[in-house]
Structure 1
């Protein structure tokens, strides 16, 4: 019996502040490849012992002259938006010699990307976002949850010491309040222009950084605690600069991205 060859996918491993990604470009794949990849394949590839290992998979494809993006969590579920992933996309497209700035489209809406250098990559998006306060019970104690949707949903909880938080335990309890789950951020306010944050991403677990989470906490600082429009968000993976318009309807994230390596992997 002739041997059946599995499809081979070409990918690029990338990261932004330690938030790491597997990027698949449809233009680089053979016709035998299933695109976008199946949830089963994504889960297998995301395994850090038996696969590539990543927080999210980025899938790029074109329709006519427009570049589109899709994000998938490590568990194979779709993700609407990812600010760190958008910076990785900007670096990838810049390395392909595409002119900057460039606007790309996807589930989180249109996003403008610009590349000054690998440490100063800007992601800008304009949208009507939703925010509200909600009272929750957490480990038997009442807490105020600040809910913000910036293309994907976030729940921000204030903390006096984010490093000492039992983040995974609390994130599981918080997520149970929401039918589709939610991204959870613990935020420690340092000043009116600086916060420290830890993030537990829906479908991925705790990550070193989250761009959309940084945008969400900056909006909370601005709306509820008289924060500035230029805010430094410090996460375990590093610092991200968040610029907000006066009404917070235009958001820019400025930070680094890196290409780690290129490779091929079987389905």
Structure 2
């Protein structure tokens, strides 16, 4: 039996979302990691709780941090970054009384993030500096960073930008074209130009301070919001001089704010972190 807590074996969870990007938060400070099968069960929207991903709160990796967290996709695969998830974990820690500080640090699989508690249930999280190196993203077949990568996908030429936010992102300019998002996103993930865990963003420019974005995420498909995807899109557009350094990113589930002071600085992601419900599964799942 998969033992979830030290005492009862029951699995306690919180369902949360950040701008519609929903997730299941597990307290793993005294429990083992969920199995792949358990993640699939929990994330299933018909037979489980339902969510784009599963996050587990753990003891800090960095002695100065208040906690750490790990990330699994709805398919039970490990992931390295989730901006909306980081904000939700921060809110979970504040509600649980782990910290009452207005600013603290939190460890994710991709590094340590500074958290600022803001008004109205909003949290700001540092997301690190974007990395445009083809080896870091990774994007294969290129040795030097390109403003745009021209790749052949499903027999068609496709132009996209690419950046790592601790996880890989391809960003497609959808200003004048209505792309079939699931088809293009899946094709790019399986193209061989990127690792299969690449997230694919489709961006439209509204003004220098506002963009629209839809993201086809690794392990979840098209989601209502993607925090690291919002940062990736702003990084690509700001580097090209097309947007300013503070941008509202309108996603299907809500709006996030991304701030990037300079090319060498960390990006900051601000947005809501909301509790949906708490619960407990009455039986363990293998």
TM normalised by structure 2 equals 0.84
Contiguous gaps of at least 5 residues in structure 1: 1-5
> Structure 1 142/10 Cα, relative in aligned 2: closer, same or farther at 3 Å?
same
C-alpha contact 1:39 1:75 (8 A) present in aligned 2:
yes
Q: Give the alignment partner of residue 12 of structure 1, picking from 14, 31, 44.
A: 14
> Mean Cα displacement is larger for which, 135-144 or 186-195?
135-144
Q: Matches of 2:103 and 2:202 in 1, distance apart?
A: 33
Alpha-carbon RMSD across the aligned residues, in angstroms, is 2.0
Q: Matches of 1:51 and 1:211 in 2, distance apart?
A: 24
* Equivalent pairs, count: 257
* 1:174 matches 2:176: no
Higher strand share: 1
Q: Matches of 1:257 and 1:104 in 2, distance apart?
A: 15
* 1:146 matches 2:143: no
- Find the residue that maps to 1:222 and give its secondary structure: helix
Q: Give the alignment partner of residue 111 of structure 1, picking from 104, 110, 113.
A: 113
> Mean Cα displacement is larger for which, 173-182 or 8-17?
173-182
- Find the residue that maps to 2:69 and give its secondary structure: strand
* 1:48 matches 2:45: yes
* 1:86 matches 2:86: yes
| 1:160 aligned residue | 175
TM normalised by structure 1 equals 0.90
C-alpha contact 2:130 2:235 (8 A) present in aligned 1:
no
User: Alpha-carbon deviation of 1:226?
Assistant: 3.3
* 1:26 matches 2:28: yes
C-alpha contact 1:138 1:173 (8 A) present in aligned 2:
yes
> Mean Cα displacement is larger for which, 61-70 or 7-16?
61-70
Q: Matches of 1:138 and 1:225 in 2, distance apart?
A: 27
Contiguous gaps of at least 5 residues in structure 2: 1-7, 134-144
> Mean Cα displacement is larger for which, 15-24 or 64-73?
64-73
C-alpha contact 1:156 1:187 (8 A) present in aligned 2:
yes
> Structure 1 7/230 Cα, relative in aligned 2: closer, same or farther at 3 Å?
same
> Mean Cα displacement is larger for which, 79-88 or 58-67?
58-67
> Mean Cα displacement is larger for which, 13-22 or 126-135?
126-135
> Structure 1 47/149 Cα, relative in aligned 2: closer, same or farther at 3 Å?
same
